[in-house]
Each structure stands twice: as C-alpha cells, then as structure tokens.
Amino acid sequence: MNVSQSQWTLSGFGDEISPDPEVQIAVLQALGATHIEVRSAWGTNIVDLTEEELARLDGILREHGMGVSAIASPIGKVDVAEPVEYEVGRLARAIRAAEVLGARYIRIFSFYRSEDQTPEDIRDAVMERMTALADLAAASGVVLVHENEKEIYGDTPERVLDIIETVGSPALRVAWDSANFVQVGVKPFTSAYASLRPHLEYFQVKDARSADGAVMPAGEGDGELAETIAALREDGFEGFFSLEPHLANAHHLGGFSGPFAFGVAGRAFGRVLAEAGVTAQ
C-alpha cells in the first residue's frame, strides 16, 4: 500500500480466520495482504508452540511468500499480582518465535487488576513489569507494541502515555486499537491521537459502536477511523495495518471472525482507505 512516499503494509490476525495457517494465508492474500500477525496456529498460542511447530509454521509462511508483521503475544494479559519473572519468561518464548518467523514487533498488554484495586493502586507494579519487559526486548533486538486493551492499566490514552513515558525505552511503542478506546468511552482521534501519535508504530484495524461497545467493521462504528487514517496519511506514517475484526466472537485472549466475516472486515477497511485517498497494492 503506498501513500505518497510512505509505505503502508496490510496484515491481519490469521487465527481470526481459521486455526489452519494454510487457510489463514489464503484469505489474507485474497484481501491483498502480504503479511500476517501470528497469535496462534493449529489452535496453540504462539508462546506455547514447540520449536518443531515454529519451524513448520516458518516453512509454510516462506512457501507462500508471507511475511510476519508481529507476534501477537498474550504477554501482560494476566493479573499484575503474578511475579515479574512470569511474564518475562513468557516474553522470552515470544522473542524466540519472533526470531524464527522474522518478526520485528511483539504485541503486549499492561496487566489486569483485582476488582478491589484502582489503576493507581497497581501503577508501580505495572511500571516495574513493563520496564523489565522492555529491557529484555531491547537486549533481544525486538520492539514491543502496547495495545490499549480495555480493563488493563493502559486502557485510556493518559495511562498509555504514562507507560510509554515512564518506561522511556525505544523498545516500547504504541499499537493503536480504535475499538478498544471506544469501549472505554474514549473518542480515539479526538482524545488520543495528538498525544499518542509520536509513539504510534503499529495500527490494529477494529471499530466499535459507542452505544453498546459492539465491534463493527472498519468505518461503521464510532472509532473515528476516517479521521485517524487521514491524519496518518498527512503526517507520513509508515508501518503495518493489521486486521483484527472480532466479528463473530471475542474473548479474553482474542477473537474469531471466520473467512467470510474476515473478508467483510477487509473490504470495509478498503473502503475507509479509498475514501481517504489511499490505494492498496
């Protein structure tokens, strides 16, 4: 995808299509994607794949000429009460997957809290853990991209910025999710773009309706995707746009759409791009 001199690259969460990597690749390539974001394969999460399974997956991707935009890890989608070492250990496995599959980015989160805790209660523990994760990433030559998942510490623009600025590592950047912002009552472009744009390095394509939080195809919700895409075009963003539709089912560790609904989501995003004057290639 070319936008003037900038390079925009389409990707997507393959396991939203099917557990089978062959099917994942076929659907993504039919939508014009050259990359895939790997969260699971054959029903197994990326951090739990064996060396043999990683090698098999790498072979399939290479056979079809498919790049890997990111490792969509579950790191940080646990209670902050877990020891620091627990997620650092899991990140090491995600980094190994990134090495085998040739990915630069690893998606992470910033921890859940118990019902009797406020975000302020867990801030110090979150920063300790995020710093440890960023230190390992920096030493390993990968970049962590933090997704603003609802109900974690970094679910609002202010707390996402707090994490990025407090950790202060080039190995920790922002993965933008418009739908997740809508689901916590935030108008993404209006309230988050200006503050987070300097740190935004990865874009997850999902939209949601503010009235009830329902996930919608891109441009059909209240995620201000048209305004955000136009602004990214104007300020020369370069990077990945990864389809994560969640149109059939969403749960704690991800979501599912199936091949048909995933196609609906891909075409809807294509219309958003076309309206912004962006042409896919």
> Could you give phi then psi for residue 90, rounded to 5 degrees?
-70, -35
> Where is pLDDT greater, at 256 or 91?
91
Half-sphere exposure of 86 (CA within 13 A, CB side): 11
How large is the average pLDDT for residues 25-50?
96
Q: What's residue 263's pLDDT? A: 85
3-class SS at 249?
strand
What residues contact residue 125 under an 8 Å CB cut-off, 6+ apart? 80, 111
What one-letter code names the amino acid at 94?
Answer: A
Average pLDDT rounded to a whole number, residues 21-36: 95
Give the model's confidence band at 4: pLDDT under 50 very low, under 70 low, under 90 confident, else very high.
very low
In the prediction, which pLDDT does 8 show?
Answer: 87
Q: How far apart are CA 24 and CA 46, in angstroms?
A: 15
Asked if the model's pLDDT at residue 81 lies above 90, the reply is yes
Q: What is the pLDDT of residues 154-177, one digit of tens each?
A: 999 999 999 999 999 999 999 999
Query: In terms of DSSP H, where are the helices of 111-257?
Result: 119-140, 157-167, 178-183, 193-196, 225-234
pLDDT at 47 over 70: yes
* Residue among 276, 246, 275, 271 nearest 261 (CA): 246
Domain ranges of the chain: 2-275
125-142: pLDDT as tens digits: 999 999 999 999 999 999
> Rounded to whole angstroms, how far apart are CA atoms 76 and 140?
18
pLDDT of residue 184: 98
Task: Measure Cα distances from 175 to 121, 145, 224, 242 in Å.
Answer: 24, 5, 16, 10
| CA 52 – CA 95 distance, rounded (Å) | 16
Q: Is the pLDDT of residue 1 over 60?
A: no
Query: Average per-residue pLDDT in the chain?
Result: 92
Express as a percent the part of the chain with pLDDT over 70: 93
Which of 66-70, 226-230, 246-250 has the least mean pLDDT? 246-250
Give the per-residue pLDDT at 278: 76
The pLDDT of residue 251? 42
Residue 73 has pLDDT above 90, yes or no: yes
Name the CATH superfamily for 2-275.
Divalent-metal-dependent TIM barrel enzymes (3.20.20.150)
CA-to-CA distance for 181 and 152, rounded, in angstroms? 12
Write down the pLDDT at residue 261.
83
> What distance in Å separates the CA atoms of residue 219 and residue 271, rounded to the nearest whole number?
8
Q: How many CB atoms lie within 10 A of CB 55?
A: 12
Give the residue-averaged pLDDT of 41-45: 97
